[in-house]
Amino acid sequence: MKRSHSQQSLPSVRGRWRRDTVELSAVFVAVAVADLVANIVVHGHDGPVLLIASALALGATAVWHSWWTHRHTHAPPGTITSASGAPAAHAAHPEDVDAQALTAPTATTPPEEVALWRIRVTVADSPGSLASLCRALADIPVNIVSMQAHPLAEETVDEFVVRASLLLAPQELSRALVAAGGSEVWVERADAHDLVDIPTRVLTMATRTAHDAAELPLALRQLFGRCRIRSLPGEQLDEDELDGAVMRLRDPAGGVVELTRPQPPFTPTEFARARALVELDAQLGPRVPEDRATLHVTGELAPHTMGEIAVRRAEPGDRAAAAAMHGRCSSRTLRQRYHGPVADVDRYLAHLLDPRHGQTLAVESEDGSLVALAHLLWDHDDAEIAVLVEDAWQRHGIGGALVQRLTELARAAGVNTVYAVTTAANTGMISTLRRLEVPLDYQVEDGTLVITAHLSPTPALAAR
């Protein structure tokens, strides 16, 4: 946004010229008065008396000024004082003063009685437009915690995170901003995650995406808030597109990544951020972190004995071993997993083993063959969990251990709601989810059972 101060610099130049003229005139007057006093002292009869009286008057004036200063301490106009009463550095421009004053805590609103709001408002790209919005928020009063600008062709979308009283209605915020020249005002409750500045948030997401390709959809969702993310593998796109509420990006793995958010619509600035994350993902290529652990199982596993087996993150290269495991599973086991006959296993596995659609765990036997697969698939703000265990390895705690690990991965990704789609006859999955000891919702439609588990966030995420 343009924030030109050229018009305000002219009065400042004139003020300095007048001040220099007054100071020069004062010097001339002081020299003339000094010459007059010297003549009176040297040639007059009352010279010594005049000197003594002048000294007494100056002393009395100094004592009175000292008393007055201690009694009426205050900072000069335009100076921001700190909590201790000492003057802080003087702002270079009135807009800077407004910004610092707005972020200062208010004495009338206790910290425990405030709410955070995210605000977006469109204004003309002209000098003083941002200052008008800040003054309008200050008059409510509202403290501005952070601010960023999204430039458009002839306008600018200003985004604020503000702290206000719990008694303040969002309609009052909207009316004040419209009166200050804003339009298309959007107000939403914010939380502590919105206090992290955008550059830090983007760098954190880029780091997570660089470590694991499965983090890309999560990074996009966390960057843009409530939005729908769809992967369209069969579609082609010549170049990335932005159309208000819909953003379409070329998927490095093939196809299109589509983001939808009706309110507020995406801005060109957000479009550039999304493209940067996707381009980073394309440059790094397919990647799955090395995460190999030991899974403890119970009972005897024919032809193996009770003990430990390996569990790791699966990747697209495991497709052949996963297809072989499907071939060893009974039709009943496959029907419980896929809710019907499996017509094309290879097509299913191409989607399930793609890290951009979620995270998949693979369980290996001692000879390196896969004996179980567990999937955590991103679905908007939720995630679907699904487990397939080969018949010979069932009823030994493998499925329950995998579900527990999937819920831990969901919590680490900031997903607090997971669901499983199964049948009422799949008592193993039902009992496994009950052992999580979290609130569960059950919904039955056309013979299909959907169990939703509401997870509590991890302490680290809750403290952020």
pLDDT at site 34:
66
Domain of 269 in residue numbering reads as 199-283
Q: What is the pLDDT of residue 122?
A: 93
Angstrom distances, CA of residue 24 to CA of 11, 31, 252, 300, 389: 20, 11, 72, 102, 94
Residue 91 lies in a domain: no
- Beta strands at 370-379 and 241-243: parallel, antiparallel or unpaired: unpaired
185: pLDDT strictly greater than 70: yes
One domain for residues 257 and 370: no
User: Does residue 308 sit in the same domain as residue 262?
Assistant: no
**Same domain for 436 and 304?**
yes
Question: Model confidence at 418, in pLDDT bands (50, 70, 90)?
Answer: very high
Q: Domain check: are 306 and 440 in the same one?
A: yes
- Shared domain for 214 and 298, answered yes or no, is no
Query: Looking at the domain assignment, is residue 383 inside a domain?
Result: yes
Lowest mean pLDDT among 102-116, 284-298, 422-436, 447-461: 102-116
Task: Specify the 3-state DSSP secondary structure of 450.
Answer: strand
Q: Which of 183, 168, 195 is nearest to 120 (CA)?
A: 183
Task: Quick: pLDDT tens for 117-153.
Answer: 999 999 998 899 999 999 999 998 889 988 888 988 8
| pLDDT (0 to 100) of residue 120 | 92
Q: Before 303, cis peptide (omega within 30)?
A: yes
Out of 217-221, 245-249, 281-285, the most confident range is 245-249
Out of 237-246, 299-308, 374-383, 417-426, pick the least confident.
Answer: 299-308
One domain, residues 187 and 120? yes
Residue-level pLDDT at 17: 63
Residue 177 pLDDT > 90? yes
More confident residue, 376 or 289: 376
Strands 417-423, 440-445: pairing kind = unpaired
Query: Encoding tokens for residue 301?
Result: 């596993």
pLDDT digits (tens, 9 = 90+) for 384-399: 999 999 998 888 888 8
Place of tokens 């059972």: 449
Predicted local distance difference test score (pLDDT) of residue 10: 45
Note the pLDDT of residue 307: 57
What pLDDT digit, counting tens, does each position of 187-243 carry? 988 887 777 777 887 788 788 777 777 778 778 877 887 788 877 777 888 889 999
Is 61 inside a domain boundary? no
Q: Tell which wins on pLDDT, 45 or 165.
A: 165
CA distances, 215 to each of 83, 379, 454 (Å): 44, 13, 21
For residue 75, is pLDDT > 50?
no
Are 402 and 374 a contacting pair, CB within 8 Å? yes
Instruction: Look at residue 11 in the predicted model and tell me its pLDDT.
Output: 47
- Please identify, among 151, 179, 195, the residue that sits at the C-terminal boundary of a domain: 195
3-state helix, strand, coil in the chain (%, to 5): 45, 25, 30
For 167, residues 6+ apart whose C-beta sits below 8 A from its C-beta are none
End-to-end CA distance of the chain: 31
* 297 and 422, same domain (yes or no): yes
**Which amino acid is present at 226?**
R
Q: Which amino acid is at 103?
A: T
For 165-184, what is the mean pLDDT?
91
In this structure, the answer to whether residues 246 and 182 fall within a common structural domain is: no
Summarize pLDDT for 422-437 with one digit per residue, the tens: 887 788 888 888 888 8
Q: Which residues are CB-contacts of 246 (< 8 A; sequence separation ≥ 6)?
A: 258, 259, 260, 266
- Last residue of a domain, which of 162, 195, 228? 195
Residue 100 belongs to some domain of the structure = no
Q: For residue 460, what pLDDT band results from cuts at 50, 70 and 90? A: very low
Assess whether pLDDT exceeds 50 at residue 85: no
Same domain, residue pair 299 and 404: yes
Which domain-ending residue is among 169, 195, 221?
195
**At 114, is the pLDDT very low, low, confident or very high (cuts 50, 70, 90)?**
confident
Whether residue 180 is predicted with pLDDT greater than 80 in this model: the reply is: yes
Longest Cα–Cα distance of the chain, Å, equals 129
What pLDDT does 38 receive?
65
Q: How many domains does the chain have?
A: 3
**pLDDT value at 246 more than 90:** yes
User: Residue 457: its pLDDT value, please?
Assistant: 63
The CA distance from 158 to 130, in Å, is 8
Q: Are residues 182 and 111 in the same domain?
A: yes
Q: What digits encode the pLDDT tens for the residues 13-57?
A: 455 666 667 666 766 666 666 666 666 666 666 666 666 666 677
The whole-chain average pLDDT of the chain stands at 76
Q: Is 306 exposed, middle or buried (0-12, 13-18, 19+ CB in 10 A)?
A: exposed
pLDDT-wise least confident of 212-216, 304-308, 320-324, 338-342: 304-308
pLDDT at 301 over 60: no
Q: Tell whether 313 is covered by a domain.
A: yes
Which CATH number do you get for residue 145?
Answer: 3.30.70.260
Residue 58, pLDDT score: 66
- Residue 244 and residue 391 share a domain: no
- Give the residue carrying structure tokens 């008057």: 57
Residue 71 lies in a domain: no
Place 368 in a pLDDT band, splitting at 50, 70 and 90. Answer: confident
**409 has pLDDT over 60:** yes
279 within a domain of the structure (yes/no)? yes
437 and 454 co-located in one domain = yes
pLDDT of residue 403: 92
How high is the pLDDT of residue 123? Answer: 92
